[in-house]
Amino acid sequence: MSEIGDRWRGKVIFDRVNLSNGWVLLKTENHKSTRDFKVRTVKSLSPRRSYTPRHAHFAIDFYGKLCSDRRKALNVLRAIIEVWRNNNVEQSLIKYSGLTQGLPGYALEYILYALNWILEQEDINFAGRPSAKQQELDAICAKQDVVAPAARRGSQLAISVFCDIANGTHPVEALLKANLDVQPRRRR
């Protein structure tokens, strides 16, 4: 497997995390800005199988967890929020693994490590939003007692999707309301 500084599919690897299930998360170069990066999930080396995890993947997974066991799923949300507030991923895993055990879908380890980078990427590429939209996001998050740290306004949009789903909104509606796509539209 490629190491930090090597290339994965033509992109320089900035960081990597080896997950306990054998998957590898990569942070590779991207082009939106000088600090931008892309998150890749490598599921297999032979044959090479990888994909770019998106907000929608985790939103749908979270909804499935809520349908299975609301109490445990809300602990997943709390773990995500803690990591978003710059808590160490390992500490959050220790705190929440037992409280979320047995839920279907993605493992908490994958969710926290992937979202940690995805949310960081959203903050790097954030260029601002209208005040009415910001107030809407604040109101959605407030229903789950979540307040966005000032430096995390870019990633608050994604966090608001999770909060909206926890508030009872269907994930498709929550994603549409946030104007998030599973696959970003190609630019011409």
CA distance 129 to 141: 16
Q: Is the pLDDT of residue 183 over 60?
A: no
Which one-letter amino acid corresponds to residue 164?
Answer: D
For 76-135, the pLDDT digits (tens) are 999 999 999 988 999 999 999 999 999 999 999 999 999 999 999 999 989 899 999 999
Burial class (CB in 10 A: 0-12, 13-18, 19+), 145: exposed
**C-alpha separations of 126 from 33, 35, 41, 60, 129 in Å:** 10, 12, 23, 24, 9
- Per-residue confidence (pLDDT) for residue 184, from 0 to 100: 54
Q: Is the pTM of this model over 0.95?
A: no
> Which helix H or strand E contains 27, and what residues bound it?
strand 24-29
Q: Per the omega criterion (within 30 degrees of 0), is the bond before 47 cis?
A: yes
Q: Stretch 67-76: mean pLDDT, rounded?
A: 98
Residue 146, number of CB atoms within 10 A of its CB: 22
H or E element at residue 166: helix 153-166
C-alpha span between 167 and 161 (Å, rounded):
10
